[in-house]
Structure 1
Amino acid sequence: MTEKKNKEDSVQSSEPESPRFRRRSDSVAFPLIIIFGLLGPIAMLTVWQIYGYYYPPMLLSILLGIAVATITYKYLGGTSGSEFKVGALKLAGSSALLIGTVYFANSSLEVQMNIKDSVAKLEKAYVTIDQLKQELRTRKTEKQILKGEVEQLQAEIKQMELKYSQFLLENIKQLTPNSIGGQQILEMARKREGPFSYYEREFIANISIPGAVRDGFFSACDDKELKGERVEIVRSNEHGVDLQKVNVTYNGSISGDYCKNSARKLDLQLGCEQGKQLFPEHISGCSKSGDVLWTKTNAANKFKVIVKVLANNR
């Protein structure tokens, strides 16, 4: 009796699911697939248009193809007779409907979305360019304002220097030659110090003698601020004793981009005659065209000197 009951239970458990349960699951699954397949691309396109999040056209086409294939299979009489052929590939039934929908939808969507996406990117680029132009105009305005403030400060400093100089001169005029202040000023004059100096400033520089510079003149890099100046170039020994010196006048900037190189090893250029006076052991003479005649072949023509900018009273 028990064995018979077990056999009946096994037979019942092996029976297929009831048609009612299958219909219920199909009635839920198919509408969800269709809704997601139709509303998904619409939602993605909406998000793309509003927020700019770009979705691949292929993804939208696949969702749309799934929705169309499901509608046809479930509600429009099935997919019998459907065929899709590309080259040697031939599909039929649901796969043909799905792949065909994806193929044609993707071709159309890809063209339209890429065009709109390119237009959107171009508009965004124009907006960025306008913003950069506005920022540039703002910076130019700020620069002009700062330039005006700097000029105003410089004018105020000059006025203060003038007032201080007048005050200082009035006090100096009251000094006697035998006073402590008077003696100190006389000592400065004897030593050519301070306002009695022959030189505005001095610095160490590297020079070359290319032979292309006119005699009595020199060329220099602009950052040395020697335009219009007359300088005294001094060659000294390791003990700081002056050996030779020449006076030359500014003739122009060193041509080319050489001075813009931060690793440059040259600041000034001299003519042959002045080079011969400074370095007679290196230069034996000058040709008629101004070329340098070196005492040694391939001699290094770069030297370290002291450049003293002459004051107006010299």
Structure 2
Amino acid sequence: MKARAFCPAHITGFFKAEIDGKDPNRLGSLGAGFSIQKGVRTTVILSSRNSSDAAKFHIQIKGFKTGDVRVSEYVLNEFLAGNDDYFVDVIHELNVPVGYGLGCSAAVALSLALALNQALKTGFSKTKVGQIAHLAEIRCGTGLGDVLASYHGGFEIRTKSGAPGIGELEKIDPKEKLDVLIICFNPISTKKFLGEKISLVNGLGGKMVQELIESKDMNEFQDKSIKFAKYIKIVTPKMNKVASELRKNGIKCGVALFGETIFSLVPPSEKQKALQILEKYDGLVLSSKIDNSGARLD
């Protein structure tokens, strides 16, 4: 038996962490961001397992590499608890890099959970599957709000924290078609970042969420993202140089949390100009579009 699922990568421009409380399904973040058409495609293949085999699964990663498979292991153990019949081969195809603020661990968790639910015929609702992926992120300390956002797709403002079915969001429909351009310089550890910056993050992040709910303006979102990143002191000289040059050319941009990563949402007419600026810098440049469908079976 075989199943495949896709989950879009997701970028958060600013946020407020909601991490006080005992119910992990209610933990997460308020914030704003968008999902892109690049992400993680996961294939699972089931075969009969010999009772003498110690291992229950094997994880293979293609494309951008990561040595951290904790999120995948968590999801697999949740689905395979009490099930000794199958050995599961997992193939994650990553077309976004890990650790750069692109919500990769959420996309890994959610695409894997959807594929396992289908292959194992577990019969969980999509909401329940999303909650398993959300718990994987919370337990492993790899993210706070990306599962809820990439589950739904599109451009969103997260208005209530938590897993799918508990957390809430408002979708924004941009007034014009937008291309997404991204330049990645260096990864940042989400766990380390949250430990160091949380008190700084929350005051400004909560205020920005309320303001964006009122305006629902793309340009304001990008301006707020840069302001937020500067306020919490994660804009490196290299990022500042890129952002300044884009701004001088009339191009808005923001910062992907958590990574040394600049993004720009541009109308197609501005794409070439923005791309030429980004390609002058020594970073990984990605081009994509907004994904409006969210996580799904493939």
Greater helix share, structure number: 1
- Same fold, judged at TM 0.5 (above): no
Bigger Rg, which one:
1
TM range (shorter): under 0.3
Question: When the two structures are superposed, what TM-score results if normalisation uses the length of structure 1?
Answer: 0.18
Higher relative contact order (CA 8 A, sep 6+): 2
